Amino acid sequence: MGKCAPSAVLQALCYGVFGVLVTACGASQYAPVQELGYSLSTRSASASSVRSAPTSYQVRSGDTLFAIAWRFGWDYKKLAKVNAIASPYTIYVGQNLVFSEINANLNKKTLLSVSKPKVSPKNVVKKVSNIRTNSLNNKQEIDTGSVKWQWPLRGLVVQKFASKGVISHGIEVSSRLGNSVKAASSGIIVYAGSGIQGYGNLVVVKHNETFLSAYAYNSRILVTEGAQVNAGQVIAEVGKGPQLDPRLHFEIRKDGKPVNPLQYLPKL
């Protein structure tokens, strides 16, 4: 038998490895929980982490005010107020948002002019429907304590909320891949996508002016931004978390701050 040249053998091995990698990537159905643009550990890149707010942030295509505020651990109402943005919180590609009330006061005139720049319609960032938002305001936002909570799914709580030590801004519930994830209370979908680092496919529901809830690590999202949902309505399907096992990351935020969901959910 003839011998293969070393270079030929090496080339064949490279093609084989490349083929395996392509197959593996193509088989994945999940939004990555960690973005490749960040050199973070699995734990620090998980949904348990909230990135520190920058001095300013330039709006990019696909951003919403709710998503930007969530990403940096701010209350969306406070972020809107600091930047002189009125409801329904329309923002624009290229617009600079500040996260400092001091900077906002010093640059108030500049902010007011930036809030409504002269841009083409394609640069207007998508926003929640005015009609649906107003409808929800009239029905639910008079009494901020009126939210009635239910579990988004049933399963073993494998990660509890923690504000000290290893920070966890929510709870994680084990489940089966593809199981239904349900809205924990009625509200409006203010974010549905995979653009927030550490959350994979994420759904955020606005329940009133005080409370938001989030559902992360989903394999599929079944709702769109602006849709009004009822408590118990299926909004997503369970996917895999950073540990590569099926689980749901669930958060409740009160005035933009993470709170312990177990203090609001009914006892099992």
pLDDT greater than 80 at residue 247: yes
Report d(CA 116, CA 130) in Å as an integer: 17
Q: Which has the higher per-residue pLDDT, 180 or 72?
A: 180
Tell me what the mean pLDDT of segment 24-33 comes to.
42
Label residue 28 by pLDDT band (50, 70, 90): very low
Cα-flanking dihedrals φ and ψ of residue 208, to 5°?
Answer: -165, -165
Residue 214 lies inside a defined structural domain of this protein: yes
Q: How confident is the model at residue 47 (pLDDT cuts 50, 70, 90)?
A: low
Is residue 176 a part of any domain in this protein? yes
For 68-110, how does the pLDDT look when each residue is reduced to its tens digit (9 = 90+)?
888 888 888 899 999 999 888 889 999 999 987 655 454 444 4
Residue 95 has a CB neighbour count (10 Å cut-off) of 22
Q: Are 207 and 187 spatial neighbours (Cβ–Cβ below 8 Å)?
A: yes
**What pLDDT band is residue 235 in, cutting at 50, 70 and 90?**
very high
- Name the band, by pLDDT with cuts 50, 70 and 90, for residue 141: very low
Statement: residue 253 has pLDDT above 90: yes
The per-residue pLDDT for range 110-132, each reduced to its tens digit, is 444 444 455 555 555 544 433 33
Q: Cβ–Cβ contacts within 10 Å for residue 184, how many?
A: 27
Return the pLDDT at 5.
Answer: 54
Q: Is residue 222 part of a domain?
A: yes
Residue 74 included in any domain: no
Contact of 194 with 200, CB cutoff 8 Å: yes
Region 7-16 average pLDDT: 50
Percentage of residues in the chain having pLDDT higher than 90: 42
Alpha helices in the chain (DSSP H): 6-27, 65-71, 76-82, 101-106, 108-114, 130-140
Give how far the C-alpha of residue 214 lies from the chain's centroid of Cα atoms, to the nearest Å.
7
Number of domains, the chain: 1
Pairing state between β 171-174 and 211-221: unpaired
Which domain, by its residues, includes 205? 157-263
Given a cut of 50, is residue 152 above it in pLDDT?
Answer: yes
Domain containing residue 235: CATH number: 2.70.70.10
Residue 254 lies in a domain: yes
| Contact call for residues 80 and 89 (beta carbons, < 8 A) | yes
Q: Helix, strand, or coil here: 103?
A: helix
Residue 136's contacts (CB-CB under 8 Å, 6 or more residues apart) are 187, 188, 206, 208, 228
Supply the mean pLDDT for the chain. Answer: 74
Q: Work out the pLDDT band at 204, boundaries 50, 70, 90.
A: very high
Let me know if residue 75 belongs to a domain: no
210: left (phi over 0), alpha (psi -120 to 50) or beta: alpha
Residue 247 and residue 241 in contact, taking contact as beta carbons nearer than 8 Å: yes
How far apart CA 87 and CA 206 sit, in angstroms, is 14
Mean pLDDT of 176-200: 94
The single-letter DSSP state of residue 138 is H
DSSP state letters, 50-61: -PPPPSEEE--T
Q: Is residue 106 part of a domain?
A: no
Q: What is the pTM of this model?
A: 0.67
Helices (H), 28-73: 65-71
Tell which wins on pLDDT, 236 or 87. 236
Read off the tokens for 174. Answer: 């084990």
Contacts of 143 (CB under 8 A, 6+ apart): 208
* Assigned domain for 196 exists: yes
pLDDT at 10: 47
